[in-house]
Structure 1
Amino acid sequence: MAASPHSPNSTFRRLRGQHSPAEFAALVRRAGREIGETVSCDARYIGRVESGEIRCPNYAYERVFLRMFPGRTLADLGFPPREAVRGRAAQREPSPTPRSPAGTGSGTGAGTSPKESDVLRRAFMAGGSATVAVATLGLALPGDTRRTPSRAGEAEAEAVEESVRQIRLLDDRHGADALYRKAAEPLRTAYALLDAGATRQSTEDRLHAGAGELAVSVGWLAHDSGRFDDARSHYAEALATARVSGNPGLEAHAFSNMSFLARDCGRSREAVRAAQAGGRAARSLGSPRLLSLLALREAGGWAGLADRRACEEALARAHTDFAKGGAAADPEWMSFFGEAELESLEARCWSALGEHARAARHARRAADLQDPHFARNVALYTAELAGDLARAGAPDEAAWAGARVLDLLDEVQSTRVRSTLAGTARGLVPHQRSPRVHAFLARHADLAEV
């Protein structure tokens, strides 16, 4: 069935002014860097917005656009209300044949409930608790969810991609603990859709990429909530999907997370090898920022092996590639990787090498630079700062940083953050005669009893 024509976004076109699409895309990327967002904006993306093909930007682009045009709303930029986008699309695209409970009607529209992502987005934007958000999370098929469409279409591919975005957004906001079990459900559905096959090769490629990215995201939720064996399994699933579909970007992403996991599990040499493998996969992608992140992963492995020289060489490569700036080829999942994350990953290297005062300087910069929207990362960076300060012999400052983390734990549910903070609390016990340290330890003890 022919798709409905898009209504051009003439408002956005007027805001572009005399800039070419490529020039305007460069301005968008620069604005993103200013707030710690890495957006893969190019002339093609601007064209898709202006043609109306992109009816509402994702949240990363929304934050960048509102940064560029302060005081304006998405409506002022020519976009329809976010909650209306899917509903109207569904109304304009009726199924040409009645759908069975399994959703086996039109190959381009079967199998997704247009309200699913809208409900999730509203829960997220309303700033509700993680419990409310998790209750809405899912990639459900109408009718009997044990069955899938006979052939997946564009709507299914879009639903998988949207689930990836929403899981990442909720993780940024709330942390992994409350999300992991629920996020496994859309992952199972995504692979069921992949097994069902697709109407076109381009759709099958999107499903492979989406299912693989979903596996990485669910793996990260397991990783961050301390379920390391589960995380390893999900990352391996993503890597297998990448290799089956010949997707070097997904392969690099899987290896990046596998390296991070290996470092956390104390397998430092494996962390180095996985990061290097990711670098080889990413070499042809044209994304210096991705190479920078993989070099930082490698540096973390070398630090765990106490190889200072190799660590410093990897850090130097990371800074060189990062300084090249964002590129159109930067993956969407790297929106978290700004200067704050670079500082945090470097801080972990110096901490592993025993240079805690130096680590604390980088951790402090990471916490100061992080966009408050990424509440989970603010909490993590500040918890790491507290630990570095405690080990550097600054207990009062460590207690101050620890108290800041406690203030965030109502919203952020992350085993990583809590375990990092618990280690700091244990290290501060000998200094509990300090009023500030005593107050922090008392608050932390109350939290542990909850």
Structure 2
Amino acid sequence: MASSTVTSSQPERPPRPNLAFRQLRGSRSPAEFAALVRRAAREIGERVSCDARYVGRVEAGEIRCPNYAYERVFLHMFPGRTLTDLGFAPRSSVRGRAARAALETRGVAEPYDTPGPSAQRDTYDPSDPFDPSDPLDPHGPHGPHGPHDLHDLHDLHDLHDALSTYDPCDPFGPYGAPPHPCDPYEPYEPHAEDHLNHEESDVLRRAFMTGGGATVAAATLGPLGLTTEAAAAAARPTRRPGASEASALEEAVRCIRLLDDRHGADGLYRRASAPLRAAYALLDAGATRQTTTDRLHAGAGELAISVGWLAHDSGRFDDARSHYAEALATARMSGDAALEAHAFCNTAFLARDAGRPREAVRAAQAAQRAAGPLGSPRLLSLLALREAGGWAGLADRTGCARALARAQALFGRGHSDADPEWMSFYGEAELEGLEAQCWSTLGDWRRASRHARRAADLQDPHFTRNIALYTAELADDLAREGRPDEAAQAGLRVLSLLDQVQSSRIHTMLAGTARVLMPHRRASGVSEFLDRHARG
């Protein structure tokens, strides 16, 4: 599963199908078998993000040896068997004895080993209230978002300065740091959060835009920033926030969303947390008018969700969960049903990606309860899709199909004045793309490829990144469906878009597709795709 960080001098061999593992799956579908793997993991206290695609990759021979978490799960499922009996290669042949010996000599912990349950970082339920006795409570003064000192407002100026000269095609990003290397072939690792820390290209999609909007946000919030001496002395504002600060906060959130439509780049997630602290500092300072206070609560909550998405999309799931929980707490304190629905919506999406499909279903259903009185069929449609993704992860084809039908019916009711501003991305293309992901999770590659193709065809040309994303999904589905020539053509279209788009997520998807296509090099177009992909 995880590949060695030591580069081999030998050419990569095409993967050899794992027939032993395929035989063990028997008559079950890949999605059904993945559900059994997740259930077995829970029985022994492990957490793995197994789905139909992962099972397909094992059977295709792409994963020559699983990491230690999956090893424990598989040996629990098939007692008396070894990894070799399950069709995997010896670990030493995959990773290399020299690299392992070097790590052991330095006393470095095994990078691919997953600690047991007692060593896992503690997580929390987004609905849990703040515990003042817990020094690590995410909402407390020592949590990841506190204390909210106003001197953090100075970081808004730093962020704008970095972005004002930012080139989205610069692989070193606005802060001069190249992305960290990782295994591009394994998005399902329990350690994916660590390996994908470099994935700041996706992070930038949710960061402040270059130019006007960011300038307004930084300049308007700027007067509240304190001198170093004043911040050190009291960390309190010179005046209470008003309508201009609320407008600046709302503009900052818009900037983050607008960049999502364009391109990704490197280096902003760590910097994005400072503006979030600044937003909560505005709340701590207190506005003179209730209407302004309500706007500040809504803006801070939406910014928390946006920063959470930065973490989510770059594989930092624990951080994302914390940010989403903060948004949910803000929504409940202020009685903001729209913000609550948004927070639960993203929590459901995160739970699906983190391999917690039942939580995804529950969070999506909670979001629908919050959104019910808001009068937005399109919002309810998106939330039904979030629920469908959870059912797909549970291998519940019937539940997934029902949720998809509900999503389509609600979408058909059209736009409403009550549609939230943050839903501007949700059109027919996104509907098709999310449905494609559901069928892909269920292992129905034919349906998945059909919907992915429609998603790419329907997407507005302005949304270059989404076109690349949907086409990459199409290429992968076609490859797994057994249509290598069409998959290669789709992959070539994605490669032609990567001059305009910087997205590690898309690169990872293409890498997986390339490995599936390696045994089909003689098919039309496949050799060209593999060669262009290898050249980067």
Structure-1-length-normalised TM-score: 0.69
Name the counterpart of 1:345. 434
Pair 1:244 & 2:329 matched:
no
Query: Which amino acid counterpart does residue 352 of structure 2 have in structure 1?
Result: R
Q: 2:363 aligns with which of 242, 261, 274?
A: 274
Match of residue 438 from structure 1? 527
What is the SS of the residue equivalent to 1:372?
coil
Q: Partner residue of 1:89?
A: none
Runs of 4+ aligned structure 1 residues displaced above 6 Å come to: 111-124, 126-130, 132-136
Counterpart residue type for residue 278 of structure 1: A
Tell whether the 8 Å contact from 2:261 to 2:463 is kept in structure 1 after alignment: yes
2:489 to 394, 400, 410: 400
* Partner residue, 1:302: 391
Gaps of 5+ in 1: 1-101, 105-110
Q: CA deviation at 1:439?
A: 2.0
State the match for 1:354 in structure 2: 443
- Give the paired residue count: 339
CA contact (8 A) 1:263 1:271 kept: yes
1:377 aligns with 2:459: no
Structure with higher helix content? 1
Identity of aligned residues (%): 67
What is the deviation of 1:115? 9.8
The answer for the alignment partner of 1:99 in structure 2 is none
Distance in 2 (CA, whole Å) between partners of 1:429 and 1:114 is: 47
Deviation string 1:379-432 (CA, Å, 9 cap, x unpaired) is: 211111111111111112111211222222233233322222222122111112
Q: Is the 8 A contact 2:155 2:274 kept in 1?
A: no
Measured in 1, the distance between the counterparts of 2:226 and 2:487 equals: 53
Alpha carbons of structure 1 residues 115 and 144: separation in structure 2 relative to 1, 3 Å:
closer
* Kept in 2: contact 1:103–1:149 (CA 8 A): no
Match of 2:457 in 1: 368
1:144 to 211, 223, 226: 226
Q: CA RMSD in A?
A: 3.0
Q: Where do 1:129-208 residues align within 5 Å?
A: 131=173, 139=218, 141-142=222-223, 144=226, 147=235, 148-175=237-264, 177-208=266-297
Secondary structure of the corresponding residue to residue 284 of structure 1? helix
In the superposition, relative to structure 1, how do residues 299 and 257 fare at CA in structure 2: closer, same or farther (>3 Å)?
same
Q: In the TM superposition, what is the alpha-carbon distance from 1:121 to its structure 2 partner? A: 10
Who is 2:344 aligned against? 255
Deviations 1:333-384, CA, capped at 9 Å, x for gaps: 0000000000001111111111101110100000111112222211211111
1:412 aligns with 2:494: no
Using the TM superposition, give the Cα deviation of residue 149 of structure 1 relative to its aligned residue in structure 2, in angstroms: 4.5
CA distance in 1, matches of 2:238, 2:483: 60
C-alpha offsets along residues 97-139 of structure 1, whole Å, 9 cap, x if unaligned? Answer: xxxxx999xxxxxx89999999999989x99879567776574
Alpha-carbon spacing, 1:188–1:135, altered in 2? closer, same or farther (3 Å): farther
CA deviations on 1:314-343 (whole Å, 9 max, x unpaired) are 111101110110000000000000000000
CA distance in 2, matches of 1:150, 1:103: 11
Counterpart of 1:291?
A: 380
Q: Superposed, which structure 2 residues align to 1:122-133 within 5 Å?
A: 131=173
Task: Answer whether contact 1:176 1:221 (CA < 8 A) is retained.
Answer: no
Letter in 2 for 1:162: E
For 1:180 and 1:399, the matched residues in 2 are separated by 33
What residue is the counterpart of 1:9 in the other structure?
A: none
TM-score by structure 2 length? 0.58
Shift of 1:175: 2.9
CA distance 1:122–1:329, shift in 2 (3 Å): farther
Counterpart selection for 1:314 from 399, 403, 406: 403
